[in-house]
Amino acid sequence: MKRKTLLVSFFIFILFIQTACGKKEETDAHSSTNIENIPQAAETVEDMNNQKQGILVKKYLRGRELAQTLKYDEIIESDLEPSLHKKIDSFAQLQKSSEQSFYNYLVYLLGSGEYGEIEKELETFEPVFPEVTADQKKKKNAVFLIDGSQSMEETLGNQTKLSLAKKAIIDFAAALPNDESLTLLTYENPIEEREETQKVPACRNIQVAYDHKSYEPGEFASSLAEYREGDDTSFTAGLQKAEEVLSSYSDKQYENSIYIISDGIDICENEGEESKSILSNGSEDIHIIGLDVDQEEEAALQQVAAKGTYKTVATEEELQTYIKEEWEQETPEKTFVQEASISDEEQLSEQRRFDSIKESYDKASLRERDRLLLGVKYIEEQKLLSSNEIKRLEKRILNQYKSRKEAVWEIRDQKLALMKAKIKENNKMIQEWKDKWQ
């Protein structure tokens, strides 16, 4: 029995020695690791943005440094503050404390680790406004084919139908911008020989009189002047040639329009149905214009027009007006102005989006300030520093807080200036567009 008692006493003694050694090792570790290796606290805003999260903040506020006020205050009061007091007491016992060493230690314990990510988000912030791009204005191509039948020599008013058609086309072409192209197709009246044996009827022999380019007054007028009335004409051959000319110009990049001016239906080998088939399968940018036609001819031309458009005109003015209206109708002129302007509400929305990020930085900064002042208050209560040292420490903390605040406001001013510059550029683009197209 006595032997058992001795053994128990021995084990208790060993346990006591181990505990004491453990506490000493823990104290030594605290002294060598937590004190000697405490980093110098950041002095500049840039360094503060890159500082590591304080060890007590990391322990008690991991992921909750920006939590709602009630929850945050509860954690500070119940967990972080008691631990902070113990740390300060231990720190003061282990070495001769100074104002600088206490400041370094408080930042080491209580510094925020949120600044870096938030500051990066503020610096890279780009205001997002509605895209200020109009639908790119497509280049435009117009192909004209004039009826060359003998009936085009009939008069309409005080001039022939052919002369009227020529004049209307010239007036139209003269008003086109330089980046819009014209092609003039004509019916060649002479018989063309092919491979010595095959003859092509004149009504099918379509020639390019003016070859796909911007308007040049002399050359274009000359091409039209040489055109004379002949015999039969073929819508089918004319459309096929027009589509051949335009085949290289994708409708994604170009507005392609074909205008046929005629005073009656095809009379070249009864091709009406064939023409109708081509038009039905083609683009809606095919326009047939009837020159002073009777009801029968009008009905026939309307039938051929199919999915294209048809218009009967009786005067030179009507012809010119119709061609111009159809041409201008294909340009989306108002989309840009209606959709591009940046409203005051959109500007305010982007400003608020930036400010919501800034508020996170401000909250982290304010809470770090208050945690550090909480530590200073305890140091003062324990009389670990002189009154003057306490005042300087408080002032230092407040000045660092002020520096962070000013730095963030500077970023805000830069971003507001960027917003204004984007709006100014937006308005400039709108005005340039208006000046060019309206």
In a domain? residue 45: yes
How does strand 192-194 pair with strand 286-291?
A: unpaired
342 located within any domain? no
Taking a C-beta distance cutoff of 8 angstroms, is the pair 213, 182 a contact? yes
Based on the fold, state whether residues 143 and 267 are members of the same structural domain.
yes
Shared-domain flag, residues 143 and 247: yes
Q: Is 31 inside a domain boundary?
A: yes
Looking at the fold, whether 205 and 169 belong to one and the same domain comes out as yes
Two tokens, residue 414? 């830069």
Tell me the pLDDT tens digit for each residue of 235-264.
777 778 888 888 888 877 788 888 888 877
Instruction: Tell me: do 240 and 367 sit in the same domain.
Output: no
SS3 label, residue 210? strand
State whether 155 and 298 are in the same domain. yes
Could you give the 3-state DSSP secondary structure of residue 182? strand
Q: Which of 107, 63, 53 is nearest to 375 (CA)?
A: 107
Q: What is the pLDDT of residues 267-308, one digit of tens each?
A: 565 555 555 555 545 554 788 888 877 777 777 777 776 667
The CATH number for 189's domain is 3.40.50.410
In a domain, residue 69? The reply is: yes
Answer yes or no: do 189 and 174 share one domain: yes
Give tens-digit pLDDT for 194-220: 444 445 555 667 888 888 888 888 888
CB atoms within 10 A of CB 292: 19
Residue 236 lies in a domain: yes
113 found inside a domain: yes
Give how many domains the chain has, as a whole number.
3
Q: Is the dihedral of CA 422, 428, 433, 438 positive or negative?
A: positive
Judgement on whether residues 373 and 405 belong to the same structural domain of the protein: yes
Angle at 18 between CA 17 and CA 20, to 5 degrees: 65
Distance CA 425, CA 133 (A): 12
Shared domain check, 250 and 236: yes
pLDDT, residue 345, reads 86
Per the domain annotation, does 134 fall within a domain?
Answer: no
Domain with 28 in it: 1-37
Q: What Cα–Cα distance (Å) separates residue 262 from each residue in 168, 219, 235, 244?
A: 13, 23, 9, 21
For residue 257, the model assigns a pLDDT of 84
What pLDDT is recorded for position 28?
40
pLDDT score at 193: 45
* Pair (221, 252) in one structural domain: yes
Collapse the DSSP code of 313 into the 3-class scheme (helix H, G, I; strand E, B; otherwise coil) and give the result: strand
Both tokens of residue 64?
């909750």
Q: Give the CA count within 13 Å in the CB-facing half-sphere of 132.
A: 17
The answer as to whether 293 is a domain residue is: yes
88/33 same-domain check: no
Are 170 and 317 contained in the same domain? yes
Task: Report helix, strand or coil for 132.
Answer: coil
Neighbours of 60 (CB within 10 A): 18
- In this structure, the answer to whether residues 285 and 354 fall within a common structural domain is no
Residues constituting the chain = 438
Task: Output the DSSP codes for 371-410.
Answer: HHHHHHHHHHHTT-S-HHHHHHHHHHHHHHHHHHHHHHHH
Angle 105-107-112 (CA atoms, 0-180°, nearest 5)? 150
At residue 410, the pLDDT reads 96
Positions in the chain whose pLDDT score sits under 50? 1-2, 6, 8, 10-17, 19-33, 190-198, 280, 284, 332-339
Among residues 161, 166, 147, which one has the least CA distance to residue 266? 147
